[in-house]
Structure 1
């Protein structure tokens, strides 16, 4: 049994299942800790006028007359069969809503990650080329700005500036998907991706800078320089290639975070992503919507981590040998 559990793939799968179960329990308890229930959320102030018989009937309909343990496993069993629930406000299934919003967030996360890497890695190379110099200090200052400036503030300033002084605000139009109108979709994704990419570039830059400085002190780098290899070749073929694993780790973590952590930026720019869907569900106390959507976000994060582990074996032969 111990040998089976020690298998790296099986161990990662078991850890992922444990994480998802923990998330499911946590979000279920948190939603039940909020004031009110599904009856008051759907009826509002009219719930006070219900007779005891009417309330009992509604509790039986929503399953609120069952113990919390039974409610949890009933919901979890429905999720495992593909039934994520129904929105009490719109009457639309949560599965359909998630199928429409999740690709939007994934697209935003991919564009943001590309921009973050395009900003962070070159900045890290530029800073690490001369440690403890003015160049290094300026690079770290940009990274510090990316970590310290709140996303909602940067998003608000960017949106207000472009709309007022440039007369440019594509997010004021109805949202267009990538397949319905690619050009408008790209414009609507550009500003939120810039905001998220700038914040993502900071940890990537700091991680890449530390990794590059560490690799530069290795013997094989000094040997390559002693043999007269061109500095650019040393930097990209030897140093940057061996510093890829920490960069990949940080990128995978940040990408997973964007799948659920872009809710503020999505709200500012009116992007109908999955984070905004959770926020709307919490405001309206949509229990099934919030619980199932958060579980989908957690599943996406786990899959991203598993994909990151696979990429380790692709970029680093030493990982494949273990």
Structure 2
């Protein structure tokens, strides 16, 4: 019952948050300088022409009516029609989502498979000067170098010299897995540098905090092996901040994919939304930002649930702890 009430509160909070986000999205898209008619027809169009275009797409209606129509159709899964291509927004997103999803999954996998082990390794060997210095330097560089700078360098090097990997020329995974891998390795690697560095640094700090706890000293006194101590005592107790940063990193990956898709000429959702902003394609912009908000809220909820499962003092187990 306690778990059900926790999920119910989180669901209600998510609904309210999404409702407020939808208002902000709709208002922000309409407040952008230059409307759809001005962008499509150009600065020399007559008022009659602009009025005709606005009436064709329902932009001449009251702003509250426009918002209500968009919200009610969005709740049914219909995000409208792209005013530029004339295709349903869901169809356009479906064509581009695999690219962004592939980049995001690759970055998340790199954070778990490389960032977490690297953070644990540098923490365990923190007392050895050279290892600690190299770890701090690597994580500092990874966090400090902007992805557009690193991406530009990678694009130049692999475009200028024949280094075995291609820049651009995206091929879907279903058509040619080998060519898809060659075209996605570089953008995924550039996107992963920051997340690996942040995950490694967060894991290192969390593990160092746990290593000074009395129960770790007791485990060492009992003669337990370092590997057993790390896997049995350290990892679970250090996992809360790591899980939290991983959820934040996923949101960063969705945003960072926009820059990477532009640099490497990938037909993903991020670059499509940016193009829609420039063209004032309201339906695409509103749907893209709303879906990103849904992903972020779901990830935060799952993170809280995972934190409660890993440590009863957090999340869903907090009330149980206070009731005892």
TM-score above 0.5, yes or no: yes
2:85 aligned with 1:87: no
CA distance in 2, matches of 1:58, 1:156: 39
Tell me if the contact between 1:256 and 1:301 (Cα under 8 Å) persists in the aligned partners. yes
2:285 aligned with 1:290: yes
Distance 1:55 1:123, change over 3 A: closer
CA positional deviation for 1:18: 2.4
2:149 aligned with 1:153: yes
CA distance in 1, matches of 2:317, 2:111: 31
1:172 is matched with: 168
Q: For 1:124-181, what per-residue CA distance to the aligned partner results, in whole angstroms no more than 9, with x for missing partners?
A: 12321243633222211111111110101111111221232234442332x2222222
Distance 1:283 1:169, change over 3 A: farther
CA positional deviation for 1:317: 5.7
CA distance in 1, matches of 2:185, 2:172: 13
Q: For 1:251-298, what per-residue CA distance to the aligned partner results, in whole angstroms no more than 9, with x for missing partners?
A: 111012212332101110112221111111112121111111111111
Which of 60, 68, 71 is 1:73 aligned to?
Answer: 68
CA distance in 2, matches of 1:186, 1:62: 41
Give unmatched runs, 5+ long, in structure 2: 319-324
2:322 is matched with: none
Tell me if the contact between 1:159 and 1:169 (Cα under 8 Å) persists in the aligned partners. no
CA distance in 1, matches of 2:57, 2:229: 65
CA distance in 1, matches of 2:145, 2:88: 37
1:144 is matched with: 140
Tell me if the contact between 2:80 and 2:283 (Cα under 8 Å) persists in the aligned partners. yes
Please report the RMSD computed on the Cα atoms of aligned residues, expressed in angstroms.
2.4
Q: Which moved more, 1:245-254 or 1:57-66?
A: 57-66
CA distance in 1, matches of 2:194, 2:215: 34
Q: Which moved more, 1:119-128 or 1:258-267?
A: 119-128
CA positional deviation for 1:216: 0.8
Tell me if the contact between 2:36 and 2:281 (Cα under 8 Å) persists in the aligned partners. yes
Tell me if the contact between 2:41 and 2:50 (Cα under 8 Å) persists in the aligned partners. no
Aligned length: 316
Give unmatched runs, 5+ long, in structure 1: none
Task: Tell me the TM-score normalized by structure 2.
Answer: 0.89
Tell me if the contact between 1:211 and 1:243 (Cα under 8 Å) persists in the aligned partners. yes
2:15 aligned with 1:20: no
Task: Tell me the TM-score normalized by structure 1.
Answer: 0.89
Which of 215, 220, 233 is 1:238 aligned to?
Answer: 233
